[in-house]
């Protein structure tokens, strides 16, 4: 810090005195190149000062350019040279030679000042969580930002957040989390593309965890919001990183990230390509309790994907107060989905009647694109006084064809071959205006409007092999059109002082939803308007203990696949389909959270309660030994929960993290004259450790457990799994080698039981063990990164 103040005084003095320095005919020119000793990387913007040998006063000075070079002229000859930069030891040069009125200092090495560096980064060394009025802010410290991890891995370090092997993000065990970048939707935040994996840990300033969102955010989704705040990068010039990954099952990718900063522009590009395979083992049985017949199925399905992903964008700083951002993402995927399922049918005497193999060959191409246009104006009176306009557009298409071939192994031939074709197109558009005005140091108002349009078409055709010819099955064929428009308007007001604050808001949303089955002319039109109030408060008792409380009303709108009544026929005995008459569910959410420190440990605990009406549940019915699973609105759910998480770093080489969530629920409801009143609980825990070894080697162990719990018709079983990661830095941190093992013991499974008076069903699924190996290298001023293939549809 002393070096930093000293440097500022030098620069100020130079600005005052430089006008009095006059060039002479015998001026001496001093020049050289400044680099960091350990990495040989240029040191830009360091201060170069010439001082008088007699009185140590400054004669003149300058700073290094983007490449660490400098050139300075002096009319005096009796001087010495002093070089300084925050975080490095000040270097004094007293011996040099003058030749032809020039002093060539060549390459000069700056040595890091460990004490100064400790002072500079001590507050950010370990990642920690702090409170704001309506959010928890996870500040990314050097314990994570220096690891070269991707944004997905950083999210997995945030308390309450979990990222599974496919890159799906959940909050408090619930999926459907909305991810924002700097407070707005972004092409980089799309979980269905590869873009999120290209954000590296060193780019992230903090992550805001919003489990009870204020009225500023759209009311849909009950899981919450994760807002990734990127650093205001100050490194000018080129930054870049390239990575290569391989693994088993097939998980191969190449990725490159480029960034070029100038005074007015920030240009960025990310390019990735790869291939991966996602096998899944499946088992199921349908038991007819009326006639004692049973159908067993067992097999393995693959999802092989080749993908290409390109992101381009620029930030244009019109001036100090206005920034325009334009970015786009283009992706193309080629899918191959082979599967083989073995079916066996037993009669009431438990005798095998028939068995057969059902082979699927599916091919698909998926074009995708996104664009983002954002304008942000900052007003002169206050930094937080802003106006932001944004537009986001996305498109996803799928051209898919499938061939299902049945081969009888024993018994009678009771099945037929089938073909399907799917033409799917989805376009989404979001337009948003946000205005924030801090009226004073304690009062802030926000207001804004958002308009979202979703337009989807799904043309689906099934053909059955009949007497050697494929004939269209009219009962299973149709074109489903889905059109939804949501207009939202909000206003909030906040009062916040150092220790206490309160924030209240109200959001109004109008929803227009239209669905149409074109072949049968079945339609469902909905138009409704809702008010969503929010209230948040926080109180800081001292530096070691704070409290936060909040209330919000939320909505879950049925998604496309919840409404589409047509289904995949991979397994004709276990059919899932949508319900076009499904209604939205509403949730009132209450939360009380505390954050506190005990020695070297930081802990956060929450008590929460939610009450949901018209709960959307997947309900199974049974007909002719076939299970049909459909989402339905069933009653209410009152949920009470406790969550605690923490981090403990007893020393520099060991960090321990933990997360525990216990949820009790009470269900009330009925469906098809059957009462679904019951209560139960579910809990989850996550324990992690990061161990630092010599030679820049880090070992990470993360254990997860998800308990089983009751459902409206049966139960889901629990499971535990362990992930391991080893990271080694080489070439003084410019390159990183990673080895990861996900689900070491292949214990991450999905088991669902349904038990009804007339039938029983069982479903089992398992992804298996994933092993990945990657290497990445940072060039220019970039740092090594990890490129992730991300989760695709």
The predicted-structure confidence for 106-148, as pLDDT tens digits, reads as follows 889 888 664 433 333 333 455 666 767 777 788 887 655 555 5
> Average pLDDT for residues 274-286, to the nearest whole number?
92
Give the pLDDT score at 765. Answer: 92
Give the pLDDT score at 781. Answer: 52
Give the pLDDT score at 40. Answer: 72
Burial of 245 (0-12, 13-18, 19+ CB in 10 A): buried
Helices within 236-276 (DSSP H only): none
CA angle, residues 627, 628, 632, in degrees to nearest 5: 135
End-to-end CA distance of the chain: 50
Q: d(Cα 725, Cα 740) in Å, to the nearest integer?
A: 4
State pLDDT tens for residues 14-46: 433 444 433 344 688 899 988 877 667 778 767
The DSSP line for 438-461 is: E-SSSEEEEEEEEEEEEEEEEEEE
CB atoms inside a 10 Å sphere around CB 331: 23
Q: d(Cα 184, Cα 610) in Å, to the nearest integer?
A: 26
Residue burial 305-317, b: 16+ Cβ < 10 Å; e: rest: bebebbbbbebee
Q: List Cα–Cα distances, 600 to 139, 543, 643, in angstroms.
A: 16, 14, 20
Q: d(Cα 257, Cα 791) in Å, to the nearest integer?
A: 19
- At a CB cut-off of 8 Å and minimum separation 6, what does 177 contact? 169, 170, 171, 221, 223, 224, 225, 226
Please check the confidence at residue 728 and state whether its pLDDT lies above 80: yes
Q: d(Cα 61, Cα 13) in Å, to the nearest integer?
A: 9
Q: d(Cα 225, Cα 221) in Å, to the nearest integer?
A: 9
CATH topology of domain 238-780: Maltoporin; Chain A (2.40.170)
Give the pLDDT score at 233. Answer: 55
Kindly report the average pLDDT of the chain as a whole number.
83
Q: Which two tokens stand for residue 506?
A: 């109200």
CB atoms inside a 10 Å sphere around CB 124: 15
- The strand pair at 102-110 and 28-36 is best described as parallel
Nearest to 333 by CA among 277, 292, 414, 275: 275
Nearest to 205 by CA among 189, 225, 227: 227
Q: d(Cα 403, Cα 412) in Å, to the nearest integer?
A: 22
Give the pLDDT score at 20. Answer: 40
Q: How confident is the model at residue 212 (pLDDT cuts 50, 70, 90)?
A: confident
CB atoms inside a 10 Å sphere around CB 211: 25
Do residues 655 and 601 lie in contact, with contact meaning Cβ atoms separated by under 8 Å?
A: no
- The strand pair at 574-576 and 626-633 is best described as parallel
Nearest to 591 by CA among 660, 539, 655, 643: 643
Specify the range with the lowest mean pLDDT, choosing from 317-331, 391-405, 564-578, 656-670. 564-578
Give the pLDDT score at 189. Answer: 65
Q: List Cα–Cα distances, 54 to 60, 82, 196, 219, in angstroms.
A: 15, 15, 58, 71
Q: How is the beta sheet containing 626-633 ordered, strand by strand? A: 574-576, 626-633, 616-623
* The two domains 2-116 and 238-780 share their CATH topology (first three levels equal): no
Q: List Cα–Cα distances, 665 to 263, 419, 676, 688, 751, in angstroms.
A: 55, 43, 13, 28, 20
> Average pLDDT for residues 1-13, to the nearest whole number?
42
Q: 598 or 113: whose pLDDT is higher?
A: 598
State pLDDT tens for residues 220-229: 865 678 888 8
Give the pLDDT score at 668. Answer: 93
What percent of the chain clears pLDDT 90, i.e. is strictly above it? 38
State pLDDT tens for residues 232-242: 655 556 777 78
> Average pLDDT for residues 66-87, to the nearest whole number?
82
Do residues 510 and 525 lie in contact, with contact meaning Cβ atoms separated by under 8 Å?
A: no
The CATH architecture that domain 2-116 belongs to is Sandwich (2.60)
Task: Provide the residue ranges of all domains of the chain, joining segments of one domain with +.
Answer: 2-116, 122-237, 238-780
> Average pLDDT for residues 259-280, to the nearest whole number?
84
- At a CB cut-off of 8 Å and minimum separation 6, what does 245 contact? 251, 252, 253, 254, 255, 274, 772, 773, 774, 775, 786, 787, 789
State pLDDT tens for residues 646-689: 878 788 788 888 889 999 999 998 887 788 899 999 999 988 88
pTM for the whole thing?
0.74
Burial of 260 (0-12, 13-18, 19+ CB in 10 A): middle
What percent of the chain clears pLDDT 70, i.e. is strictly above it? 85
Nearest to 756 by CA among 708, 711, 698: 711
- The strand pair at 386-411 and 352-378 is best described as antiparallel
Our CA dihedral for 205, 209, 214, 216, rounded to 10 degrees, sits at: 40
Q: 137 or 705: whose pLDDT is higher?
A: 705
Q: At what angle do helices 2-17 and 114-121 cross, to 10 degrees?
A: 100
Q: How confident is the model at residue 528 (pLDDT cuts 50, 70, 90)?
A: very high
Q: d(Cα 339, Cα 328) in Å, to the nearest integer?
A: 35
Q: What is the DSSP letter of 46?
A: -
Give the pLDDT score at 66. Answer: 65
Q: List Cα–Cα distances, 634 to 349, 451, 615, 623, 709, in angstroms.
A: 37, 30, 5, 21, 18
Specify the range with the lowest mean pLDDT, choosing from 57-66, 135-144, 514-523. 135-144
Q: d(Cα 243, Cα 398) in Å, to the nearest integer?
A: 29
- At a CB cut-off of 8 Å and minimum separation 6, what does 508 contact? 488, 489, 490, 529, 530, 531, 532
Do residues 681 and 665 lie in contact, with contact meaning Cβ atoms separated by under 8 Å?
A: yes
Do residues 472 and 461 lie in contact, with contact meaning Cβ atoms separated by under 8 Å?
A: yes
State pLDDT tens for residues 603-621: 888 999 999 999 999 899 9
Please check the confidence at residue 6 and state whether its pLDDT lies above 50: no
Burial of 675 (0-12, 13-18, 19+ CB in 10 A): exposed
Residue whose tokens read 């061939």: 403
Q: What are phi and psi of 83, to 5 degrees?
A: -120, 130
Please check the confidence at residue 285 and state whether its pLDDT lies above 60: yes
Cα dihedral sign, 470-475-476-482: positive
Q: 616 or 776: whose pLDDT is higher?
A: 616
State pLDDT tens for residues 309-346: 888 888 888 988 999 989 888 989 999 999 999 999 99
> Is the peptide bond preceding residue 249 cis, with omega within 30 degrees of 0?
yes
- Give, in words, the CATH class of 122-237: mainly beta
Burial of 641 (0-12, 13-18, 19+ CB in 10 A): buried
> Average pLDDT for residues 563-585, to the nearest whole number?
84
Listed ranges 72-76, 168-172, 746-750; the one with the highest mean pLDDT: 746-750
Burial of 143 (0-12, 13-18, 19+ CB in 10 A): buried
Give the pLDDT score at 427. Answer: 94
Q: d(Cα 300, Cα 3) in Å, to the nearest integer?
A: 63
Q: Which two tokens stand for residue 563?
A: 């409404």
Do residues 743 and 772 lie in contact, with contact meaning Cβ atoms separated by under 8 Å?
A: no
Q: What is the DSSP letter of 212?
A: S
């Amino acid at each position: 810090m002393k070096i930093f103040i000293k440097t500022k005084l030098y620069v100020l003095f130079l600005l005052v005195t430089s006008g009095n320095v006059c060039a002479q005919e015998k001026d001496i020119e001093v020049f050289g190149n400044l680099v960091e000793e350990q990495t040989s990387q240029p040191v830009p913007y360091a201060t170069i000062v010439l001082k008088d040998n007699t009185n140590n006063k400054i004669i003149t000075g300058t700073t290094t350019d983007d490449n660490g070079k400098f050139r300075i002229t002096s009319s005096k000859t009796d001087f010495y040279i002093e070089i300084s930069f925050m975080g490095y030891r000040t270097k004094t040069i007293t011996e040099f030679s003058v030749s032809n009125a020039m002093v060539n200092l060549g390459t000069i090495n700056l040595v890091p000042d460990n004490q100064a560096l400790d002072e500079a980064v001590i507050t950010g060394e370990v990642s920690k969580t702090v409170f704001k009025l309506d959010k928890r802010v996870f500040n990314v410290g050097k314990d994570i930002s220096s690891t070269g991890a991707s944004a997905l891995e950083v999210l997995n370090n945030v308390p309450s957040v979990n990222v599974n092997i496919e890159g799906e993000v959940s909050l408090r065990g619930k999926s459907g989390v909305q991810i924002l970048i700097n407070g707005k939707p972004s092409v980089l935040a799309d979980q269905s593309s590869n873009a999120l994996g290209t954000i590296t840990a060193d780019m992230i300033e903090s992550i805001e965890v919003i489990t009870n969102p204020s009225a500023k955010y759209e009311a849909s989704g009950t899981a919450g919001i994760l807002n990734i705040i990127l650093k205001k990068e100050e490194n000018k010039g080129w930054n870049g990183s390239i990575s290569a990954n391989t693994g088993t099952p097939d998980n191969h990718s190449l990725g490159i990230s480029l960034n070029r900063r100038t005074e007015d522009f920030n240009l960025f590009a990310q390019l990735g390509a790869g291939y991966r395979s996602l096998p899944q083992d499946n088992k199921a049985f349908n038991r007819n309790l009326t006639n004692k017949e049973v159908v067993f199925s067992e097999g393995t399905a693959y999802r092989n994907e080749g993908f290409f992903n390109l992101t381009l964008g620029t930030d244009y700083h019109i001036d100090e107060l206005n920034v325009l951002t334009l970015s786009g993402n283009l992706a193309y995927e080629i899918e191959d989905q082979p599967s083989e399922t073995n079916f066996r049918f037993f009669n009431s005497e438990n005798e095998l009647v028939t068995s057969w193999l059902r082979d699927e060959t599916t091919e698909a191409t998926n074009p995708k694109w996104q664009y983002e246009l954002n304008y942000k104006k900052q007003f002169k009176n206050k930094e937080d006084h802003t106006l932001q306009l944004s537009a986001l557009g996305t498109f996803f298409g799928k051209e898919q064809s499938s061939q299902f071939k049945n081969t009888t192994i024993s018994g009678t031939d009771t099945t037929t071959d089938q073909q399907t074709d799917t033409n799917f197109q989805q376009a989404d558009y979001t337009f948003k205006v946000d205005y924030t005005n801090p009226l004073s140091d304690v009062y802030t108002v926000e207001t804004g409007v958002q308009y979202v349009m979703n337009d989807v078409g799904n043309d689906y055709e099934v053909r059955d092999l009949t007497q050697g010819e494929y004939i269209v099955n009219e009962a299973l064929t149709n074109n489903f059109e889905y059109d939804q428009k949501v207009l939202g308007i909000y206003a909030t007001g906040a009062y916040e002082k150092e220790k206490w604050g309160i924030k209240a808001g109200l959001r109004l949303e109008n929803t227009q939803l239209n669905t149409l089955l074109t072949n049968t002319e079945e339609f469902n039109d909905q138009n409704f308007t809702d008010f969503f109030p929010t209230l948040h408060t926080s109180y800081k008792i001292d530096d070691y203990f704070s409290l936060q409380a909040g209330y919000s009303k939320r909505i879950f709108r049925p998604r496309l696949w919840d409404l589409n009544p047509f289904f995949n026929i991979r397994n004709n005995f276990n059919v899932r389909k949508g319900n076009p008459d499904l209604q939205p569910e509403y949730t009132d959410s209450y939360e009380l959270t505390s954050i506190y420190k005990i020695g070297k440990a930081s802990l956060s605990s929450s008590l929460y309660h939610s009450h949901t009406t018209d709960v959307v549940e997947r309900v199974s019915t049974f007909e002719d030994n076939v299970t049909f699973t459909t989402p339905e609105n069933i009653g209410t759910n009152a949920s009470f929960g406790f969550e605690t998480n923490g981090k403990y770093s007893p020393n520099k080489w060991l960090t321990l993290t933990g997360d525990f969530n216990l949820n009790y629920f009470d269900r009330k409801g009925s469906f098809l004259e059957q009462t679904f009143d019951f209560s139960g609980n579910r809990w989850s825990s996550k324990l992690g450790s990061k161990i630092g070894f010599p030679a820049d080697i880090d070992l990470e162990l993360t254990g997860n457990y998800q308990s089983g719990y009751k459902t409206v018709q049966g139960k889901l079983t629990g499971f535990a799994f362990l992930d391991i990661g080893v990271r080694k830095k080489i070439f003084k941190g410019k390159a990183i080698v990673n080895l990861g093992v996900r689900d070491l013991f292949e214990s991450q499974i999905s088991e669902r039981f349904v038990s009804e008076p007339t039938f029983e069903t069982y479903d089992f699924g398992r992804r298996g063990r994933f092993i990945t190996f990657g290497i990445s290298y940072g060039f220019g001023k970039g740092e090594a990164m990890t490129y992730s293939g991300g989760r695709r549809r």
